[in-house]
A = this chain, B = another copy of it.
Amino acid sequence: MAYKYLPFYETQAFCVKVFQGYGFSEEDSRMITEVLLEADLSGIESHGIQRLTRYDYEIRSGFVKIGSEPEIVYETPISAVMDGHDGMGQIIGVKAMDLAIRKASLAGIGIVTVRDSNHYGIAGYYADMAAKKRLIGISMTNSESIMVPTYGKEPVLGTNPIAFAMYAEPAPFCFDAATTVVPRGKLEVYAKRGSGLPDGWAIDETGRPSSDSDRVLKNIINKSCGGILPLGGAGEQTGGHKGYGFGMICEIMTGILSHGCTSNHVNRTPGSINTSQCFIALDYGIFGDKAETEARLSTFLNEIRQAAKADGEQRIYIHGEKEFERHDKVLRDGIPVNEKTYEEMIRIGKQTGAADLLPKYVNR
């Protein structure tokens, strides 16, 4: 399927107007748009504007409550529990990480767990918020069940991404990864492309390996058995139990420590999705001189870049480096979207009164 390229700033203006069209304030609309398009700027198509249709559905169906304010329901100098009251995940996420950052600045660390939130976009956005303040940033979210635990065929964990970021020169370290082999968004991209799934990604409702993205996604939507495998794949030989374990750590830090929903209870209550999240900011000044710590990381990252490459490979990437370098290209060439996504934008533009700002595309 051919890609169309949308000019970045026009697309941004369009999104802001779309979210205002739903009823969000201009400030909130800008906040949501920034998190959303950061994914496209970073080349993470799965979590960018192709997901607008899902947010459109969740907002219009009332799962996302416009105007609801997150509430701090438990607090200590180093921690807080926030009830998102079904607000937009991106707004809750930015406020929760801001709170974690304030606590870290005062007390060395801030850990904010969140319940009754919604999908919040890329976990890395929030980790990066802290890294930009010279703090280690960590963020995790659970999600509707999609990960099949080792030896199971019923999904009970979400894709459960874990993001971890820290300042370094010339580019920050920013790790952001689903604890499944791939995130749900990647299946959506494959389904839109109409291409089959690679081996080792997913199983069908009988528990057998499947390369059929439509079938796997249909099972997920119908809450049937089958789903995505944990990082490490099926069984234990290549470490599938480890991916499942990292997914469990995410569940504990989000759903359990917020007294909210674990993934197997997400999107099971009429009218609410009830996602749980966690935001950590850590001031590494509590371990010594910050500039020295950062210099040590920068040196280490450089040693890795310079290590011997596998035959036929030109480069070893540091986490976040591809995404960091992608920004300039997207600003220059535009955001690549496939035809289906563009059609969704046309429909959503009309429904929200933003049609006049629909960005014109360029084919490349």
Contacts and interface: CB of A to CB of B under 8 A. Distances in A.
Given A156-B303, A243-B231, A256 B297 contact: yes
Interface residues of A, number: 82
A245 B77 CA distance: 30
Interface stretch (A22-30, A62-70, A212-220, A312-320): A312-320
A252 interface: yes
B309 A153 contact: yes
Contacts of A1: none
| Copy count, this protein chain | 2
A7 interface: no
Contacts of A198: 237-238
A181 interface: yes
A307 B156 contact: yes
A139 to B, nearest CB: 13
A221 interface: no
A109 interface: yes
Contacts of A111: 109, 282, 286-287
B248 A319 contact: yes
Interface stretch (A12-20, A46-54, A91-99, A257-265): A257-265
A251 interface: yes
A35 interface: no
Contact of A311 (B207, B256, B264): B207
Contact of A249 (B175, B206, B307, B316): B175
A242 interface: yes
B296 A256 contact: yes
Interface string A217-233: 00000000100000111
Contacts of A249: 164, 175
Contacts of A175: 245-246, 248-249
A334 interface: no
Nearest to A320: B245
Given A108-B79, A166-B252, A300-B256, A74 B287 contact: yes
Contact of A154 (B81, B200, B296, B308): B308
A304 interface: yes
Nearest to A257: B287
A241 B317 contact: yes
A172 to B, nearest CB: 12
B79 A287 contact: yes
8 contacts: A76-B286, A109-B111, A152-B310, A178-B242, A198-B238, A233-B238, A257-B284, A259-B288
Interface of A: 74, 76-79, 81, 107-109, 111, 113, 136, 148-154, 156, 164, 166, 173, 175, 177-179, 181-182, 198, 200-201, 203, 206-208, 225, 231-233, 237-239, 241-246, 248-249, 251-252, 255-259, 262, 264, 282, 284, 286-288, 292-293, 296-297, 300, 303-304, 307-311, 313, 315-317, 319
